[in-house]
Amino acid sequence: MPLENILSEHSELFAFTVAEGEAGCRLDKFLADREDVSAAHISRTRVKTLIEQGRATVAGSVATDANHRLSAGEAVTLKVPPPEPAQPQGEDIALNIVYEDSHLLVVDKPAGLVVHPASGHESGTLVNALIGHCGDSLSGIGGVKKPGVVHRIDKDTSGLLVVAKTDAAHIGLSRLFEDHGRELLLVREYLAFVWGVPGRRHGVIDAPIGRHATHRERMAVVSAARGREAVTHYETLQELGVAALVKCRLETGRTHQIRVHMAHIGHPLIGDATYGSGFKTKVALLSADSRAAATALGRQALHAATLGFEHPVTRAEMFFESRLPRDLEKLKESLAKG
């Protein structure tokens, strides 16, 4: 494929030379670790996609293998195309908007709503609802399928998330999420109902997360070499017999992080068919009301309850809270009764 045919004249060019100490590095990791690439808010996943699209070169030749090992002295380039307009169609889907200004909005997402179009969910998503609400004003930095999307929560997780309406807001919010709240203001707290009661009331789970070795649709705690840093702080708020209500604060935001981490320490989420299937027998230990509430959930008992951040444009400190939805409130009430 001729290089000139795959690159837009409006694309952004990044060019680097492989240093002696970087010989043997994977192409995707090498590019994702470059300061200029990071500053442009291009994730490693995005870098991999661009490589597979033929937008990277090594020693003057197009490279489409993200796993390609580099040699010292090789010239490496990456061409990043300009943001694409949103292509999903706007739909008249009710949104629970808890805050909105000209730069961003905060949505309280119900369980069951997919955040952005994907295979099997081309419509009826939060993005379709947002386009219907905002029109063409959503930030295009997220790409065709994810306009305005800075972060997401699972389909079956309810709660708060922030959406960018302008590119300036998108860039600023991306910087916040990449910082993980270490130097910039970012607070993400979830309420989770888990099986069993953690032995320690407070704790920190510091365990890398990556794709499961054999079940590729699942995530798992893996070695540092195979995964990405993942840190979750938890606090037991209430003991509920054979279960507990736990507050989890994210220091990082990996896919399925809370679900994987709580299962890793032996306390998977109630209703989590992916990471808590081994605890199905515990349902029999519940009272009739609790058993009915747990069975009726049809999802993991997880709610994004608190979201705090510095507004990327006005610099005002924003803080939002969301009450437990009725299905989780009912579960809590029934578990508390015993």
DSSP 230-277: -EEEEEEEEEETTEEEEEEEESS--TTHHHHHHHHTT-PBTT-TTT-G
The CATH number fitting domain 187-337, selected from 3.90.470.10, 3.20.20.80, 1.10.760.10, 3.30.2350.10: 3.30.2350.10
* Residue range 32-44, pLDDT digits in tens: 989 888 777 788 8
- The average confidence (pLDDT) of the chain is 88
Q: How many CA atoms lie within 13 A of 283 on its CB side?
A: 19
Q: pLDDT confidence of 143, banded at 50, 70, 90?
A: low
Look at residue 240 in the predicted model and tell me its pLDDT. Answer: 95
- What does the pLDDT average to over 182-190? 93
Section 279-295 average pLDDT:
84
Other CB atoms within 10 A of residue 146 CB: 21
- Determine the average pLDDT of the residues in 64-68: 94
pLDDT value at position 252? Answer: 92
Domain with CATH 3.10.290.10 in the chain: 3-80
- pLDDT score for 241: 92
Average pLDDT over residues 84-100: 81
Please tell me the CATH code under which domain 3-80 is placed.
3.10.290.10
Catalytic, 154? Answer yes
Give the active site residue among 154, 156, 272, 327. Answer: 154
Taking only the tens place, the pLDDT of each residue in 230-278 is 999 999 999 999 999 999 999 999 999 999 999 999 999 999 999 988 7
Delimiting residues of CATH 3.30.2350.10 domain(s) in the chain: 97-179, 187-337
Q: Please name the fold of domain 97-179.
A: Pseudouridine synthase (3.30.2350)
**Confidence (pLDDT) at 5:** 38
Separation between Cα atoms, residue 162 and residue 148, nearest integer Å: 9
Res. 284 pLDDT band, cuts 50 70 90: confident
**DSSP states of 118-161:** BTTBSSSSHHHHHHHHHGGGS-STT-SS-TTBS----TT-EEEE
